Amino acid sequence: MDELDLKILYYIYNCGPVYIKKLSERLQKDFDTIRTHIKELQGIGYVERAGGRIVEYKVGRKNKVTKHLNHTYYNLTRKGRQLMRSMNNVDINVNLKAPYKR
């Protein structure tokens, strides 16, 4: 697992489900590069396609934003969340701007 894989996992862990185009914008990497890394992470069980038709993002403690899934969104699996919790002291430099408009 390389640095870009960790950045992808870190972003999804902190911001919630995201689609590849938005992830490539946030990480400033090529679309095909991000797609390749997502497929690899999916293959080893850290990332999965988000199910359902609606995704909700928590905004603060009481508010949430509801978004219709009009792209293929990816989310962390249980294994991916456990990995990110175990790496809570690692400093990863990622633009954590939310994947939805505010």
The 10s digit of each residue's pLDDT in 2-25 is 989 999 998 888 888 888 998 998
Looking at the DSSP bridge assignments, the partners of residue 48 are: 75
User: Looking at the predicted structure, is the pLDDT value of residue 102 above 60?
Assistant: no
Q: Which of 8-17, 54-63, 78-87, 92-101 is most confident?
A: 78-87
Model-level pTM greater than 0.75? yes
Is the predicted pLDDT of residue 101 greater than 60, yes or no? no
Which domains are assigned to the chain? 3-86 (1.10.10.10)
Which range (25-34, 35-44, 89-98) has the least confidence?
89-98
Indicate the pLDDT class of residue 72, thresholds 50, 70 and 90. confident
For residues 37 and 60, the answer to whether their CB atoms sit within 8 Å is no
Q: What angle do CA 56, 4, 24 make, to 5 degrees?
A: 55
